[in-house]
Amino acid sequence: MRTNFVLVDFENVQPKDLGLLKDGLFKVKLFLGPNQSKIPVALASSLQSLGSNAEYIVLETAGNNALDFHIAYYIGLLSAEDPSAFFHIISKDSGFDPLIKHLKGRKVFAQRSTCIANIPFFKPTLPATPEAQIEVVVADLIRRKTSKPRTQKTLLSTLHALFKKELSEQQLSQLFASLCSRGVVKVDGTKVSYELPVEP
């Protein structure tokens, strides 16, 4: 299975969700500036729970973008050792994006996320076909039992959230139209009702 390296720019992001990384093949490197001498206890204990899969990398000297260059160096080093690895940079700094584009051009898997929960590993991929999307929606509506959206506007925002806001307005409209044409959703003015398959 592919190794996932999580490289945290601690000067830029202080993640609260490191606990998510304890299951799965994650190796965490926490990059600290030379002036970051104190680490919150919760963070330290989260890292400790990862054992040998976590390490601190403390810069010796401060400097403009020094931490970013260290992260870039480690990606180069680690990708030479493990060409199939996936590198997750945790940072709000968009300065990493040109590097990531370059890495992808060299067939190195890399992605920047602003928090650990946004790592692609934790986000289900968008179903590719409209048919698969409808199946996901129907399953979600059945799961909601009595708390289903009651208006067209609420349903659209629920669908938007369900697909992690990755559908365009046009795709969202097409999905809604498909649900109506199949009779899953019935519209009456601004209100909606449902004809869902009964769970066995």
The structural domains of the chain, with segments of one domain joined by +, span: 4-122, 130-194
Rg for the chain (alpha carbons), in Å?
22
Give how far Cα 59 sits from Cα of 31, 48, 74, Å.
Answer: 7, 20, 13
Residue with tokens 């129907």: 138
Residues of the chain with pLDDT under 50: 200
What pLDDT shows up at residue 40?
Answer: 86
- Could you report the per-residue pLDDT of 141-170, keeping only the tens digit for each? 988 888 899 999 999 999 988 887 778 888
Cβ distance 66 to 59 under 8 Å?
yes
Tokens of 49: 């729970």
Give pLDDT, residue 123: 66
Residue 9, pLDDT score? 96
Domain 4-122 CATH class label = alpha beta
- Could you count the other beta carbons within 10 Å of the beta carbon of residue 155? 20
Catalogue the E-assigned strands of 39-131: 54-58, 86-90, 109-113
Residue by residue, what is the 3-state secondary structure of 11-62?
A: CCCCCCCHHHHHCCCEEEEEEECCCCCCCCHHHHHHHHCCHHHEEEEECCCC
Measure the CA–CA gap between 77 and 97, rounded to whole angstroms: 19
> What pLDDT score was predicted for residue 46?
86
pTM: 0.63
What is the reported pLDDT for 55? 93
Q: What is the pLDDT of residue 162?
A: 85
